[in-house]
Amino acid sequence: MPLFKGNQVPRYLFRIVAPQSAGSTTTSKVKSPATTNSDSDRLEDLFQLDPEIAADRLNQHLRWMSGHEQRCNLMSWTSSLLFALQYGLYRHSMDRGEPQLEEISLFIIDTRSFPEGTFVKDLEIIKVFETYHNGLKDFGELRFGKYYFGEYLTQGELDIEGRCVKVSLQRMIDLGLFELHSGLGNRDGWNRWASRVRKAITLAQSCFGDRWAVPIAAMLLALQPRAQKDAIIISGFSAMFSSEEIAGLSLEDIEIDDVRLPEGEQFARLINSIHRAFTDTDTDLVLNSFTRLEISE
């Protein structure tokens, strides 16, 4: 896809895959429905199509319209772990046959090694085509308002070998996902906060491996409101990770989509607190764009 001004892709994107998900998603390849279809003339780049046709296909994809999948060359990701988890639970309860939670997987991808233009933000591509389709324009007004879920799009086939991890929702639940985020605002549960921090780190390590443990644990903790500069969180990470391990993650240049995503803002604050505690330096998010946010003590 073409490059868009300001289209900075978050380091981590998420995708929920259920038995009835369109296309094909494995830990090695992501293929759009059109890619898995033998009709090769449907593999055209969206930007090479007549703009009215492209706008219609984009509108159908973003609205999850039934029946469009065979010709769809797009696949969706989200920068919001919270939305991904909620969507996975939605698929569990609403898909035909009510697939089991162990059949629904969360994929997490590290976007750093992909060429520029591989991922495009929905808000950016909607702006390009909304003048050609009234339905897409109306949908864009929703997305630019309160119905924003941090969606990013890819086209065709994507090689993700060695750049992603996956885990079933059931495994995350078995390891304490629901317990981790129940009643964090309840004063009676404050004495259990340290155990929740350890649970988040253990869940992340067990489900995703050491390479992904720190950022995923931080994302899990960011799903609920928390105090700024939480000493218990820092203590929990300090007990399980060394300064060398944290430095090796290159968190200083991490990109995060925090536009109208409260959990994104929380994650940015938390990952900076962790990075500062181990390296005595702020991430670029704080040094540059993140300074626009009001950070409460």
Same structural domain for residues 69 and 160? yes
Burial of 240 (0-12, 13-18, 19+ CB in 10 A): middle
In a domain, 238, yes or no: yes
In a domain, 232, yes or no: yes
**Cβ contact 61:76 at 8 Å:** yes
Same structural domain for residues 17 and 117? yes
Same structural domain for residues 59 and 134? yes
Q: Which amino acid is at 130?
A: E
- Predicted confidence at residue 31, as pLDDT, reads 94
Residues 6 or more apart whose Cβ sits within 8 Å of residue 147: none
Same structural domain for residues 32 and 120? yes
Last residue of a domain, one of 108, 143, 168: 168
- Predicted confidence at residue 179, as pLDDT, reads 77
- Copy the structure tokens of residue 232: 């218990």
Residue that has been written with the tokens 């969507």 in this structure: 87
Same structural domain for residues 275 and 161? no
- Predicted confidence at residue 288, as pLDDT, reads 47
What is the distance, to the nearest Å, from the Cα of residue 154 to the centroid of all Cα atoms in its chain? Answer: 13
Same structural domain for residues 224 and 118? no
Q: What is the DSSP secondary-structure string of the chain?
A: ----TT-PPPSEEEEEE-TT-SSEE-SSEEE-HHHHSS-GGGG--GGGS-HHHHHHHHHHHHTT-TT-GGG--EEEEES-HHHHHHHHHHHHHHSTT---GGG-EEEEEE-TTSPTTSSEEHHHHHHHHGGG-HHHHHHHHHHTTT----EEEEESEEE-TTSEEEEEHHHHHHTTHHHHTSSTT-GGGGGGHHHHHHHHHHHHHHHH-HHHHHHHHHHHHTTS---TT-HHHHHHHHHH--HHHHHTTTGGG-----TT-HHHHHHHHHHHHHHHHHHSS--HHHHTGGGGS----
In a domain, 109, yes or no: yes
**Cβ contact 112:11 at 8 Å:** yes
In a domain, 180, yes or no: no
Same structural domain for residues 132 and 215? no
**175 phi and psi angles, rounded to 5 deg:** -90, 5
In a domain, 193, yes or no: no
In a domain, 247, yes or no: yes
Q: CA dist 83 to 16, 47, 125, 211, 233, Å?
A: 10, 28, 20, 23, 23
pLDDT averaged over consecutive 10-residue blocks of the chain (297 residues)?
65 95 95 79 79 94 84 92 86 88 96 92 93 93 81 95 95 85 42 65 84 89 74 78 83 80 85 86 59 35
Last residue of a domain, one of 118, 151, 168: 168
Same structural domain for residues 42 and 159? yes
**In the chain, what is the straight-line distance between the N-terminal and C-terminal CA atoms, in Å?**
41
The domain containing residue 245 runs over which residues?
A: 207-294
Same structural domain for residues 232 and 146? no
Last residue of a domain, one of 146, 168, 190: 168
Number of domains in the chain: 2
Same structural domain for residues 257 and 134? no
In a domain, 240, yes or no: yes
Same structural domain for residues 82 and 218? no
In a domain, 265, yes or no: yes
Residues 6 or more apart whose Cβ sits within 8 Å of residue 79: 10, 12, 13, 14, 150, 152, 256, 257, 261, 264
- Report the largest interatomic distance among the alpha carbons of the chain, rounded to a whole angstrom: 61
- Predicted confidence at residue 183, as pLDDT, reads 38
Same structural domain for residues 131 and 229? no
